Structure 1
Amino acid sequence: MEDLSCCPVLCRLTPLLLLIQLLTGGSLEEFSVLGPSDPIVAVLGGDAVLSCRVFPAMNAEDMELRWFRSKFSEAVFIYQNRQEQKEEQLAGYAGRASLKGSLL
């Protein structure tokens, strides 16, 4: 197995997506968030895609999406109220993490 100990944290970031709440009229539909079970590895200076999907498929525009490292408070990216929330984002990810809006 490849030694990733010298790779920056971003390269070893395990994508964890938490959909906290639905804001669609109080609807509490049951759904699952599916994504890779293994860590995402990227080349230093390269791009990494943190892919996921909601099952069953539904509109996620009014949901809160949060990618974080090992702790909920270590936010890599937060989408809430239909926009990126930068206040809680770790400084090291500012301007480096984004959401492809067409995928919501």
Structure 2
Amino acid sequence: MMGASFEKCCELLSQLEAEHALPRESWQELICGHTPELQAEAASRAMAVRRRYYGNRVFLRGLVEFTNFCKNNCYYCGIRAGNTNAQRYRLTENEILDSADHGNG
């Protein structure tokens, strides 16, 4: 598949920004139309969206994993149900709250 022109790719970027989705064929056009110029345009648009929502602030998020018991058996995952070598744990309610307090420190 041949890539779309820069102008067409910019239209697709606008569509993506407005609709938050693109059909598969449009993704293919965008990927095949990749150029350094298009990459700079996409990065500039992404930065503008980020500034609109977050300004120049930095947000950090933390995750408290209160257990590593899992019923699923996803082969790639170290805590999958079938991994008999995993050392299992469950935090108590107080341990969970202490972890959250520590993270908010």
TM range (shorter): under 0.3
- TM-score by structure 1 length? 0.21
Structure with greater contact order relative to length (CA < 8 Å, sep ≥ 6): 1
Which structure is higher in helix share?
2
Larger radius of gyration: 2
